Structure 1
Amino acid sequence: MFEVRTDERTQVVDVTDRVAAEVPVGATGLCTVFVRHTTAGVVVQEPESGLLADIESFAEELVPSDGDYRHDRIDDNADAHLRATLLGESVSVPVEDGDLALGTWQSVLFVECDGPRTRTVDVVVTE
């Protein structure tokens, strides 16, 4: 488990190294990365800076922050909940000999939808 601190309302953070640090030496199995929040998500994607900005723009286009959402009567963050719903709260990555078995351009990305905040990310490896 580790924490991610964000500075922006919508922000993508590459957490691959932090996830890898949680994998036991020599482990082989499946690593599950789980975000304990309803307004943040996690995805496997390329961490190229232009694509990170595109992910943020894409989220705004799909779920505009100025939409007419019923949940906004309570918290004014319905867009963040809806974006997180589309992203998902977890990803699974194979583990081989203690290493994440990601493809060449793949990384584990934490996506903040309602920041700035400090979030908790769980990492569980099942051998």
Structure 2
Amino acid sequence: MKTFSKEIEFSTNKEKEVIDLTDRVMAVVRESDIENGIMVAQLPHATAMLVLNESESGVKQDILDKLDDFAPPGAGYRHDRIDNNADAHIKAALVGSSRVLPIIDGRVVRGTWQSFLVIEQDGPRSRRKLVVFIMGE
């Protein structure tokens, strides 16, 4: 069994935004030359999250809006006394920062409309990264 890993570096431009990294993730899978195995995509940040969903502007904005409905900014969180970003931490803790998907015949198994979307909640950030780890044959 072989392994392959790569970091995808990117930046964010807004306090809250959704960034599609699908093309870059798929390029890493192709580069790995692993035909059958498992891919782990991990976003090692406490105020951003990784989801699989449709990369359409309306869906992206709906996700941002609903996250704010769920954990609104400035709602009196204890952590805001330190960094004023508690809502971002809460959202990231509940949505998650990693996804595990199978690779079969050199292709990541995902739905037609499932894209790798990073949801930034504490930007802008000049350096974010997504770590992709692939294991298989």
Distance (whole Å) between structure 2 residues aligned to residue 2 and residue 104 of structure 1: 23
1:103 paired with 2:111, answer: yes
Larger gyration radius, structure 1 or structure 2? 2
1:113 to 111, 121, 125: 121
Q: CA deviation at 1:27?
A: 2.3
How high is the TM-score relative to the length of structure 2?
A: 0.88
Q: CA deviation at 1:14?
A: 0.9
The one-letter amino acid of 1:7's match is N
2:59 matched residue in structure 1: 51
Q: CA deviation at 1:26?
A: 4.3
Deviations along 1:15-53, whole A, 9 cap, x unmatched? 111111111124211111001110011011111110001
1:31 matched residue in structure 2: 39
3-state DSSP of counterpart to 1:41 = strand
Distance (whole Å) between structure 2 residues aligned to residue 92 and residue 44 of structure 1: 11
2:78 matched residue in structure 1: 70
The one-letter amino acid of 2:134's match is V
Give 5+ residue unaligned stretches, structure 1. Answer: none
1:42 paired with 2:58, answer: no
Q: Which moved more, 1:44-53 or 1:18-27?
A: 18-27
Following TM superposition, the consecutive aligned residue runs of length 4 or more in structure 1 with deviations greater than 6 angstroms are none
Tell me the matched-pair count: 127
Q: Is the 8 A contact 2:51 2:117 kept in 1?
A: yes
Quote the RMSD (CA, aligned, Å).
1.1
The one-letter amino acid of 1:70's match is R
